Amino acid sequence: MTIHETARIEAYAAQEPGASLAPFDYEPDALGPNDVDIQITHCGICHSDLHLIDNDWQTSTYPLIPGHEIVGTVAQKGALVSHLEIGARVGVGWQCGSCFSCEWCDRGDENLCAQTVATCVGRPGGFADRIRVDGRFAFEVPEDLASEVAAPLFCGGITVYSPLSQHARPQSRVGVIGIGGLGHLAIRLAKAMGCEVTAFSSTAAKEEEARAQGAHHFVSSTDDRALKGQSESQDLIISTVNTPMDWRRYVNALRPDGVLSFVGALSEPLTIPTGLLLARRRSLSGSPIGGRVAMRQMLDFAARHGIGAEVEVLPMSAVNQALDRLRRNDVRYRFVLARG
Amino acid sequence: MTIHETARIEAYAAQEPGASLAPFDYEPDALGPNDVDIQITHCGICHSDLHLIDNDWQTSTYPLIPGHEIVGTVAQKGALVSHLEIGARVGVGWQCGSCFSCEWCDRGDENLCAQTVATCVGRPGGFADRIRVDGRFAFEVPEDLASEVAAPLFCGGITVYSPLSQHARPQSRVGVIGIGGLGHLAIRLAKAMGCEVTAFSSTAAKEEEARAQGAHHFVSSTDDRALKGQSESQDLIISTVNTPMDWRRYVNALRPDGVLSFVGALSEPLTIPTGLLLARRRSLSGSPIGGRVAMRQMLDFAARHGIGAEVEVLPMSAVNQALDRLRRNDVRYRFVLARG
């Protein structure tokens, strides 16, 4: 299949904050020497897409084309792209650009680059038939991973893989707060790393599912007595939620040298007595997606252990139905839009 | 000189919260097989001693004998003490006991042991002619360090050495908040480690002194514009203060992967937007004193670089004068009490 450089891209866009998506086509910028055109087959839906549609972060521009858990095949490439062949199956996540010249880029932590470019912030995303992006942020999907379960790895997967990769060892006890799109991947990855995994969720009904994902323990996050009982039990706790919680309980659930890592910003500032940090040399940290080295490691690791997301696949034409259900948290655990 | 096991110890004690110290003598517990008797020559005064005298932490028992920056010579030792000879010059800091059987003790992080014993909490401290303590927490003072400048290393020194040892590399840019007993040692140690050092202080008059200690830069912590200008400038910031500050400014002053480490508990809980942590994968941490491995490393390192505390030496009989002046922060930078 040949895509002409001038072909318009068929997408779904919100025309204003909070709007439903409607078909929208646009002409991409000229293919740069490092760019690839990806013929999209699948795109996951992340909660961030809702925030972008709603302009919750005051960074959105309209028409807004969401979508940053993209899988497809390389249809065209710029003159400098040597690592990908036409037809290669690749994925693109939240980040699609960086300066490639700062110390963070040089050491493979492009996610820390101050010039980071987000795939669907100020530029068109993956709810479309095609996307033109910097090929250095397109990663080959390992053969063993089906496209629909691989797509969510490119944002949800790397987001929880990064703090695991930084802080967890196979001997670690790892807690995961929130068993949704990110949390279920965190459980699967931590289990595969050899860790002892505890799921924290406000939804009692998720206990069985969390255990099926690989959690060894389940703790109700609304049961204060149970939370208290977790004192000094975890080496790493990854929080995938953004709602107010009694964070002192979770800091207190850290063992010495333990880390509480936030992979999403809380809606309210965090208030913590520093004595809780001092007592056992605990840390609070934040982890934003992951760099290109981590992305490749994560894909290798996921393929080796047969880890993809638990997905519900809908045709891309049903994007509004999927978004509506996601707003109600009616998804187990990730929607992936597929093109016909 | 021979000390009989039954000789009473001559000390200075507060009889009730906030009281001046008065001479007080007591009979020590029997010499245990791991114990040493130390004939005290010097004892530093730490802010914690004031907190203990005042029972600020509700852990004090009276009569209270403060003092946990102790240097002296081994006068007697139990049957199992093989690492110290009679007459050895040793020091004891905040910690004088741990369980020696948990994983933290096993790996040399006794400061993280849940059974930690503090030198002058619930037991008599070093404002005295002698102390009987577990010899495993008595460390030989390197020959090159004079006793009076070494004494403060056993609490103030190890407290700031630990986060430096954990988080700083020679290439690091290290900020130190508060240029007092702990802060001036942090500057000296960080400078000797090869780091680029920035002193943050509310006292403009301390600029010259901070630079003399080794700081490359000085920033007024009351100049909000100057603080803002420090955005993404530091890899590690060690806070030695306990007063409310605009902590968002300091978190924002961290470079990617930077750590803000509190070595003393703040008087009020810390409130931080988690987005500031996420943005650059920053961390907040607390560091309590240091284990026995770190203590030995710190002493070696300090001796190699000729680093002791800047002290004002007073006779131990002037302890109340020293405490009064310390309450007014009238000290550059550490009082050390000397015996006869």
Judging contacts by C-beta atoms under 8 Å, the chain A residues touching residue B281 are 111-112, 285-288
Distance from CA of A40 to the nearest CA of B (A): 29
Cα–Cα distance, B126 to B146 (Å, whole number): 18
What is the tens place of the pLDDT at every residue in A139-165?
999 999 999 999 999 999 999 999 999
What is the tens place of the pLDDT at every residue in A287-334?
999 999 999 999 999 999 999 999 999 999 999 999 999 999 999 999
Size of interface A-B (CB pairs under 8 A): 106
Cα–Cα distance, A107 to A334 (Å, whole number): 32
ipTM for this prediction: 0.94
Collapse the DSSP code of B220 into the 3-class scheme (helix H, G, I; strand E, B; otherwise coil) and give the result.
strand
Q: Decide if A58 touches B, using CB distance below 8 A.
A: no
Residue of A56, A115, A282, A285 to mutate, testing the B interface (most B Cβ within 10 Å of its Cβ)? A285
Q: What six digits make up the tokens of B71?
A: 């240097």
Burial classification of residue B18, based on how many CB atoms lie within 10 Å of its CB (0-12 exposed, 13-18 middle, 19 or more buried): exposed
Q: Decide if B58 touches A, using CB distance below 8 A.
A: no
Nearest to A112 among B269, B280, B285 (CB): B280
- Asked whether the beta carbons of residue B281 and residue A257 sit closer than 8 angstroms, the reply is no
Q: Are strands B311-315 and B334-338 parallel, antiparallel or unpaired?
A: parallel
Where are the alpha helices (H) located in A40-144, listed in sequence order?
A: 47-53, 103-106
Q: Decide if B275 touches A, using CB distance below 8 A.
A: yes
Q: What six digits make up the tokens of A171?
A: 């001997």
* Pair A295, A93: CB distance under 8 Å: yes
Cα–Cα distance, B143 to A224 (Å, whole number): 54
DSSP state of B273: -
Cα–Cα distance, B29 to B184 (Å, whole number): 37
Cα–Cα distance, A67 to A124 (Å, whole number): 8
Cα–Cα distance, B182 to A151 (Å, whole number): 51
With left for phi above 0 and alpha for psi between -120 and 50, is residue A108 left, alpha or beta? left
What is the tens place of the pLDDT at every residue in B103-142?
999 999 999 999 999 999 999 999 999 999 999 999 999 9
* Pair B162, B76: CB distance under 8 Å: no
Judging contacts by C-beta atoms under 8 Å, the chain B residues touching residue A285 are 277, 281-284
Q: Is it true that the peptide bond before A333 is cis, omega within 30 degrees of 0?
A: yes
Nearest to B286 among A114, A270, A281 (CB): A281
Burial classification of residue A140, based on how many CB atoms lie within 10 Å of its CB (0-12 exposed, 13-18 middle, 19 or more buried): middle
Q: Decide if A272 touches B, using CB distance below 8 A.
A: yes
Q: Residue A1 — pLDDT band, cuts 50, 70, 90?
A: very low
- Asked whether the beta carbons of residue B278 and residue A259 sit closer than 8 angstroms, the reply is no
Amino acid in the structure at residue B321 = Q
Q: What six digits make up the tokens of A98?
A: 């960086």
What is the tens place of the pLDDT at every residue in B147-161?
999 999 999 999 999
Residue in the block written with tokens 């493979």: A108
Nearest to A274 among B266, B275, B280 (CB): B266
- Asked whether the beta carbons of residue B256 and residue A288 sit closer than 8 angstroms, the reply is no
Interval A47-59 mean pLDDT: 95
Residues linked to residue B200 through DSSP beta bridges, in sequence order: B177, B219
Instruction: Kindly provide the residue ranges of all beta strands, DSSP E only, lying in chain A, ordered along the sequence.
Output: 9-14, 21-26, 35-45, 70-77, 89-92, 95-97, 117-118, 130-134, 139-140, 173-177, 196-201, 217-220, 234-239, 254-262, 270-272, 283-286, 311-315, 334-338
Question: What contacts B82, CB < 8 A, 6 or more positions away?
Answer: none
- Which residue is closest to B280 within chain A, CA to CA? A112
Interface of A with B in 111-140 (CB under 8 A): 111-112, 114
Distance from CA of B236 to the nearest CA of A (A): 13
Q: Decide if A99 touches B, using CB distance below 8 A.
A: no
CB atoms inside a 10 Å sphere around CB A246? 12
Distance from CA of B15 to the nearest CA of A (A): 28
- Asked whether the beta carbons of residue B270 and residue A266 sit closer than 8 angstroms, the reply is no
Q: Decide if B266 touches A, using CB distance below 8 A.
A: yes
Cα–Cα distance, A225 to B337 (Å, whole number): 48
* Pair A277, A148: CB distance under 8 Å: no
CB atoms inside a 10 Å sphere around CB A68? 28
Please report, in tens digits, the pLDDT of each residue of chain B (340 residues total).
445 556 899 999 999 999 999 999 999 999 999 999 999 999 999 999 999 999 999 999 999 999 999 999 999 999 999 999 999 999 999 999 999 999 999 999 999 999 999 999 999 999 999 999 999 999 999 999 999 999 999 999 999 999 999 999 999 999 999 999 999 999 999 999 999 999 999 999 999 999 999 999 999 999 999 999 999 999 999 999 988 899 999 999 999 999 999 998 888 999 999 999 998 999 999 999 999 999 999 999 999 999 999 999 999 999 999 999 999 999 999 999 999 7
Q: What share of chain B is helix, strand, coil (3-state, %, to 5)?
A: 30, 30, 40
Judging contacts by C-beta atoms under 8 Å, the chain B residues touching residue A231 are none
Cα–Cα distance, B93 to B294 (Å, whole number): 12
Amino acid in the structure at residue A84 = L
- Which residue is closest to A285 within chain B, CA to CA? B283
Nearest to B286 among A112, A262, A282 (CB): A282
In angstroms, how far apart are the furthest CA atoms of chain A? 62
Burial classification of residue B314, based on how many CB atoms lie within 10 Å of its CB (0-12 exposed, 13-18 middle, 19 or more buried): middle
* Pair B268, B245: CB distance under 8 Å: no
Q: Decide if B288 touches A, using CB distance below 8 A.
A: yes
Distance from CA of A316 to the nearest CA of B (A): 31
* Pair A11, A128: CB distance under 8 Å: yes
Residue of B113, B240, B270 to mutate, testing the A interface (most A Cβ within 10 Å of its Cβ)? B270
* Pair A338, A41: CB distance under 8 Å: yes
Q: Decide if B279 touches A, using CB distance below 8 A.
A: yes
Where are the alpha helices (H) located in chain A, listed in sequence order?
A: 47-53, 103-106, 147-150, 156-167, 181-192, 206-213, 224-228, 247-252, 274-280, 292-304, 319-327
The span from the first CA to the last CA of chain A, in angstroms, equals 15
* Pair B186, B166: CB distance under 8 Å: no
Instruction: Give ∠ CA B244-B256-A164 in degrees, rounded to 5.
Output: 100
